[in-house]
Chains A and B, each alone.
With several copies, the nearest count.
Chain A
Amino acid sequence: MIEMCEEKIDVQKVIDAAQAEDCGAVTVFLGTVRNHSRGKEIIRLEYDAYPEMAVKMIQKVVDEAKEKWDVRKAAVAHRTGILAIGEIAVAIAVATPHRQEGFEACKYIIDRLKQVVPIWKKEVAFDGETWIEEHA
């Protein structure tokens, strides 16, 4: 399951999509909207995306992770549009037989997603809006 969604992400659904009976570990990463960034108080975030290419690139990143680690199932959902503080922007779940590779694979997927997937974040603060350019 790889999904770009305009509605709130259903974390349980993402986790369920990554469950596998031959796996002992499901590792999950949730990226949430922080109330501050770069020393500023944040009001909300706005995500723009190229959804068709984003899905394709996320699939590519997941495939890379599956080549590197024994990932049996993976699910990724990324939100678009306007997000309030505390809301979930991205949810990633991977099922692996053992936990060590789960942490590594999950970290790889979020790191690569932030590098190559066509999604953009605008931070809206009291003194203005900024499109974020980061590969952090």
Chain B
Amino acid sequence: MDDIKTLNVKVKFFALGRELIGQGELQLQLPENNSVAGLIEKLKEEYPRFAQLNSYLVAVNMEYAGVDTELKDGDEVAIIPPVSGG
């Protein structure tokens, strides 16, 4: 029987997201072969308040990325609420 392989990702939160999660950064462990969509599911399970963030983009390793983007061990994922710089 094989070990279930996992991947570790760092997840960063900003603005309202940071306030809802209660911190700016999490380490999450996911089963292997996972995507941004899987990460979002896990966040919603573990942090019910995250669902209050009703609009956001996701960046993987500082590039905007779609929900199908595959995650690799060590990736840095960021939850990007609508920006308002300037």
Direct contact of A and B (CB under 8 A): yes
Q: Give residues in A with beta carbon < 8 Å to B.
A: 31, 47-50, 52-54, 56, 78, 89-90, 110, 113-122, 131-135
> Bound state CA distance, A115 and B18, in angstroms?
20
Asked if A89 and B14 sit within 8 Å, CB to CB, the answer is no
B85's contact among A52, A56, A90, A131, by CB below 8 Å, is which? Answer: A90
- Chain B, range 7-26, C-beta contacts under 8 Å to A: 12, 14-16, 18
Q: Which residues of A contact B64 (CB under 8 A)?
A: 116
Query: Does B1 lie at the interface of the complex (its beta carbon under 8 Å from any beta carbon of A)?
Result: no
Q: Are A134 and B62 CB-contacts (below 8 A) given A48-B18, A50-B78, A120-B15? A: no
Measured between beta carbons, the chain B residues less than 8 angstroms from A53 are: 59, 62, 78
Q: Which of B27-86 contact A (CB under 8 A)?
A: 55, 59, 62, 64, 78, 80-86
Q: Out of B16, B18, B86, which one reaches A119, CB within 8 Å? A: B86
Classify chain B: how many residues form its interface, as a range.
Answer: 10 to 19
Residues of B within 8 A of A (CB): 12, 14-16, 18, 55, 59, 62, 64, 78, 80-86
| A residues near B55, Cβ cutoff 8 Å | 133
Supply 21 A–B pairs (Cβ within 8 Å), ascending by A.
A31-B86, A49-B85, A52-B62, A53-B62, A53-B78, A54-B85, A89-B85, A90-B85, A110-B86, A113-B85, A114-B85, A116-B64, A116-B83, A118-B78, A119-B85, A120-B14, A120-B16, A120-B81, A131-B81, A133-B82, A134-B84
Interface pairs A-B: 6 shortest CB-CB: A119-B85, A120-B15, A133-B82, A53-B62, A132-B84, A121-B84
B82 near A134 with CB under 8 A, answer yes
Instruction: Give the residues in chain B near A78, CB-CB below 8 Å.
Output: 85-86
Centre residue among B15, B59, B81, B85 by max chain A CB count within 10 A: B85
Which of A50, A110, A134 is B14 in contact with, Cβ under 8 Å?
A50
Task: Give the residue among A113, A115, A116, A120 with the most B Cβ atoms within 10 A.
Answer: A120
Chain B hits for A52, CB < 8 A: 62
